[in-house]
Structure 1
Amino acid sequence: MINCLIIDDEQHCIDTLSAMLKARFSAKVSVAGSTTDSRKAAEMIEQHQPDVLFIDVEMPYFNGIQVVDAIPNRSCAVIFTTAYDQYALQALKTEAVDYLLKPISLRELGEAIEKAAQRLQLLRAEVVKKDLPLPQKLLLPTSKGLLAASIPSIIRVEADSNYCRFHIDGKPEIVVAKTLKEYEEILVPSNFFRVHQSHLINLHYVEYFHPGLEEYVILTNGEQIEVSRRRKAEFLQKLAAL
């Protein structure tokens, strides 16, 4: 069941939307609460923790976009409901799932609920993924079999055509017949960053960054790795966040 909250400064709009949801979508959606006062919005959102927020745009005190922008760690799907279409672009920039013009049709309401349900599935999947422990081992196929490499011990991975060269602390170089992109997807959550088209590095092994015409990092093992200019800003952000 999807819990929803309705915020609109006109009570008859709340009543109409509530009646539509109850009459046609009661098997999927329940209305947890509503208010005509945008000043109470933050308190009600905190209290009810809705899955879906139906919210008007033009309201006294705070408009709907201001209310949505102020929601901390937003985990609900937002559907704007309004009589005005000039706010559509601004509203959708808040990553709302839909923007419904009044009077709302049942077809449009149904489509918006489906979009909200899909967004909620994605949000919940991300939460589950974040809660899963990061892997500590990476199986690397070698000529002698599978090497269970300790991920924190991997200093960097270098692309070599359709192969990868693994540089692991205390071990000889290992060549694997896979692309760098495949390993990038696995290692990025463990604080690896692709500083260059050919180099994926473990940020914990970065000792020094050299800015200037030639920008590069020096790793703790003394290796010098070029940093792409277009990746520099994101790289420094990731490094500072460690």
Structure 2
Amino acid sequence: MAVAPLSCVIIDDEPLAQDLLRKYVGRLPFLAAPTVFDSAVEALGRLDQLRPDLVLLDVNMPQLSGIDFLKTFTRHQPAVVLTTAYAEYAVQGFDYDAVDFLLKPISFERFVKAITKVQARLVGPAPGPAEEPGAPRVLLLKENKKFIRVPAADILFVEGMRDYLKVYTKARVILTHMTMTKMESLLDETAFLRVNRSYLVHKAAIAAIHGNTLELVNNMEVPIGINYREAVRLLTDKGVL
């Protein structure tokens, strides 16, 4: 079945930068023709109407910067790739879950690399020489000011704590600023199971089930929430847990 091209918005106050990004987008058949805004102010309120998959967002703009524009996102949360001539803005952008950061002048090769990351987040990674089918997904989790590469296969379970998550891996526990819904969207739903509002468990880490409690391979226990018991029961009935 054919996959619809990803819809795209460009927000940049520089005509030359707009033209370059528009040209790059046009070279990739899986990206739709972009909607272009000359400023973040002009784009205010339009994302919820357009609902783009991807926003190419300049950081340095008058009146409203790209970073401040990110703070206005409400209902629709597109993938965001930041563009700017100033590298020091990169970390600040990642605080708002930007997928990548393109430093001007932007080469086509670097642009393609960023769009590949967007594809991996939105529709899953495509098989290729650098990533064979069935290769483990690797998450980039931010703890304090450091980004940590975590193979999904190493995650035992995730515990939600308001706006933070405790990610229990085979080697350590990582505290990262992320919602459970966001984490759930990043992980393979066939490999991970939501068993409680506050717990997401790797099925391979489940050693036993005792009533409404999961015993994990690291000897920790996780409660099964009342609203999730039927889903767990159906999987165990099929013998696929």
TM-score by length of structure 2 reads: 0.54
Partner of residue 215 from structure 2, selected from 146, 166, 180: 180
The answer to whether the aligner puts 1:16 opposite 2:20 as a matched pair is yes
User: 1:80 touches 1:99 (CA, 8 Å); kept in 2?
Assistant: yes
1:115 aligns with 2:150: no
Residue 166 of structure 1 aligns to which amino acid in structure 2? G
Q: Residue 38 of structure 1: which of 33, 37, 40 is its match? A: 40
Consecutive unaligned residues in structure 2, runs of 5 or more: 125-181, 197-206, 228-241
State which of 197, 200, 220 in structure 1 corresponds to 2:223.
200
TM-aligned CA distance change 1:72 to 1:107, over 3 Å = same
Shift of 1:2: 1.0
Q: For 1:50 and 1:199, locate their aligned partners in 2 and report how far apart those are by CA, in whole Å.
A: 38
Match of 1:96 among 98, 101, 107: 98
- For the pair shown, the structure with the greater C-alpha radius of gyration is 1
Distance in 1, matches of 2:101 and 2:92, equals 10
Given the alignment of the two structures, is residue 2 of structure 1 paired with residue 1 of structure 2, yes or no?
no
- Could you tell me how far 1:201 is from its partner in structure 2? 5.8
Over 3 Å counting, the alpha-carbon distance change for 1:116 and 1:202 in structure 2 is: closer
The one-character-per-residue Cα deviations of 1:6-64 (angstroms, maximum 9, x if unpaired) are 00111221111102221x21x11123311112212223312321110000001111111
Equivalent runs, 1:56-205 vs 2, <5 Å: 56-121=58-123, 126=185, 163-166=208-211, 180-181=215-216, 197-198=220-221, 200=223, 202=225
Q: Number of residue pairs matched? A: 150
Q: Secondary structure at the match of 1:30?
A: coil
Letter in 2 for 1:40: E
Q: Please state which structure has a larger fraction of its residues in helix.
A: 1
Partner of 2:199: none
TM-superposed CA distance for 1:165, in Å, is 2.9
Deviation at 1:164, TM superposition (A): 4.1
TM-superposition CA deviations, 1:175-212 (whole Å, max 9, x none)? xxxx6238xxxxxxxxxxxxx944626479xxxxxxxx
Q: How high is the sequence identity, in percent, across the aligned residues?
A: 29
SS in 2 for 1:103: coil
Secondary structure of the 1:72 match is coil
Distance 1:10 1:199, change over 3 A: closer
Cα distance in 2 for residues equivalent to 1:85 and 1:119: 23
CA separation in 2, counterparts of 1:36 and 1:65? 16
1:43-86 C-alpha deviation (Å, 9 max, x unpaired): 33123211100000011111111111211134311000111111
1-side partners of 2:222 and 2:24: how far apart? 55
Contact 1:8 1:37 (C-alpha < 8 Å) held by counterparts: yes
Aligned with 2:87: secondary structure? Answer: coil
Query: What root-mean-square deviation, in Å, do the aligned CA atoms of Structure 1 and Structure 2 show?
Result: 3.4
TM-score in terms of structure 1 length: 0.53
Opposite residue 41 of structure 2, the aligned amino acid is R
